[in-house]
Structure 1
Amino acid sequence: MVAVAGVLRFRWLNVLGLTDEELDEVKCAVSGYGVGVSAIGSPIGKVPITDPFGPHLERFRRALDVAAVMEAPYVRVFSFFIPEGQKPVLHREEVLERMGALAGEAGSAGITLLHENEKEIYGDVPGRCVDILSGVGSPALRAAWDAANFVQCGVGHPYTEGYEALRPYIEYVHVKDALAGSGEVVPAGHGNGEIPETLSALRDSGFDGFFSLEPHLASSGTYSGFSGPDLFRKAAGVFKDLLLQRGIPWS
């Protein structure tokens, strides 16, 4: 969405696709309303691990530039699609090398990368997420916890199976839930993502980070998701109730 002189124009593309002029317009618009940007939701790492890395690295540098303009401390990334039918371990070395290169450039730019667990990439389940984060070992590479994506990858109990191992790396939390089996995305606490348990544990650990509401209630796909204003309000209300029940403040 680009706002110019009070007129909203919609463009269905990732923010990395905006021109410099459009990006400046967005920055002015959000600043004018006193709104900040916590993270750039980039698609970096959402390409096959077998694709050449050079062109993708250039696009990643654009993501860092966008983050700088928007004064966003984080850039969301993924850990590359694994070829269908192949074991992820066969590509582990290349994944770690690429993720390390991304983290190195991000750290030099003063930006922190958030690895999002996602379907069909190397870091789809808790064990391989930990493998990436510990293997790279950079403070510029942290975790964005997405319970719904874990459920859709066959992790039946994300909190029980993965929270303890990933907690040292969690710096950002995506708020969406899903039903085991069908993978249908539902409001937080209405699925198998163990979101109530996760929120309580985060509170008890002193978590002081961002929650990103990503309900994807109307549609969801490999590269995007959508809820619409009414469903988004519903999802926000449900999540606020979960926070209130646990005495978790927000701003």
Structure 2
Amino acid sequence: MSEAVQWELSGFGDEIDADPRVQAAVMRALGAGHIEVRSAWGTNIVDLSEEQLGELKSVLDEAGLKASAIASPIGKVDVALPVEHELERLGRALRAAEVLGAPYIRIFSFYYEGKAPEEVRDAVIERMTALARRAEGTGVVLVHENEKDIFGDVPERVLDIVESVDSPALKLAWDPANFVQCGVKPFTEGYEELRPHVVYLQVKDALASSGKVVPAGEGDGEVLRTVEALRDSGYSGFASLEPHLAYAYETGGFSGPFAFGVAARAFAKVLEAAGVEAR
């Protein structure tokens, strides 16, 4: 390639440490210019006070970091809850995005335990539409993550959501490990149809045999093929490290500074093989 392709490197800071100063120091040491904010001081981003948001902004400013996204838990609740429940939390996430200057807010498409997907489809679309309408005009784009066990966990239902809502304020985050854990070959079975809506890349990989999360390029997430295809399509956005190498839990995961570095170096090898630079 005649000219280097450059993506913006980011990562889930709370996978490093609860203290945002430690988060910021490690991200800077890895050469990243951005950080994805899910929690700080052990408190979820949608529950931080105005004072805490201001302090967090100061920490990031001092480190020379910008927020790539607000990694909210919105939509990681049962679909039976009223629409207003998540709209209220989205208001707080939008405020966090405003304070931190984040262009994206990550969201999910609801749990539905004990029911078939087709039984909850209309309720999911209603809620996702309401969330997107709330975000329209704010300058912030909601990105749906294909999380395991939510409605939008496999490519066909992810596509159903984004096409049915049909809003400029709702796009997709691509998470290869989550697809693997749902029995999907991410690139082979989902990339072509979903690529027009993908604006954000989350970096983690997994083994199809066990679902175990592993560093990028070491599992069955077809990460290199996806990175190469994104490169060729002109993608120039964020690549956000979400390693989950120590453990994962319902609202997130943890790696620690050392394992986070392992994940970053593994992804750097993938990028090098694809001829992509991350900064």
Shared fold, TM over 0.5: yes
Alignment of 1:1-251 (within 5 A): 1=19, 11-84=41-114, 86-155=115-184, 157-251=185-279
Q: Is the 8 A contact 1:2 1:25 kept in 2?
A: no
CA distances 1:115-169 after superposition (whole Å, capped 9, x unpaired): 00011111000110000001111111000000000111111x1100000000000
User: In structure 2, what residue type is equivalent to 1:223?
Assistant: T
Partner of 1:6: none
Compute the displacement of 1:2 (Å): 5.0
Question: How many angstroms apart in 2 are the aligned matches of 1:82 and 1:162?
Answer: 22
Partner of 1:7: none
Higher-RCO chain (CA-CA 8 Å, sequence separation at least 6): 2
Q: Which structure 1 residue ranges, 4+ long, deviate > 6 Å from structure 2?
A: none
Give the match's secondary structure for 1:62: helix
Q: Is the 8 A contact 1:176 1:185 kept in 2?
A: yes
TM-score, L = length of structure 1: 0.94
Compute the displacement of 1:52 (Å): 1.8
Aligned length: 243
Question: How many angstroms apart in 2 are the aligned matches of 1:240 and 1:148?
Answer: 17
Compute the displacement of 1:13 (Å): 2.4
Question: How many angstroms apart in 2 are the aligned matches of 1:66 and 1:223?
Answer: 18
User: In structure 2, what residue type is equivalent to 1:116?
Assistant: E
User: In structure 2, what residue type is equivalent to 1:112?
Assistant: V
Q: Is the 8 A contact 1:2 1:22 kept in 2?
A: no
Q: Gaps (5+ residues) in structure 1?
A: 4-9
TM-score, L = length of structure 2: 0.85
Q: Is the 8 A contact 2:83 2:130 kept in 1?
A: no
Q: Is the 8 A contact 1:82 1:91 kept in 2?
A: yes
Compute the displacement of 1:205 (Å): 0.5
Q: Is the 8 A contact 2:77 2:111 kept in 1?
A: yes
Question: How many angstroms apart in 1 are the aligned matches of 2:219 and 2:97?
Answer: 33
Question: How many angstroms apart in 2 are the aligned matches of 1:79 and 1:55?
Answer: 14
- Tell which deviates more after alignment, 39-48 or 215-224: 215-224
Compute the displacement of 1:235 (Å): 0.8
Q: Gaps (5+ residues) in structure 2?
A: 1-18, 22-39
User: In structure 2, what residue type is equivalent to 1:171?
Assistant: V
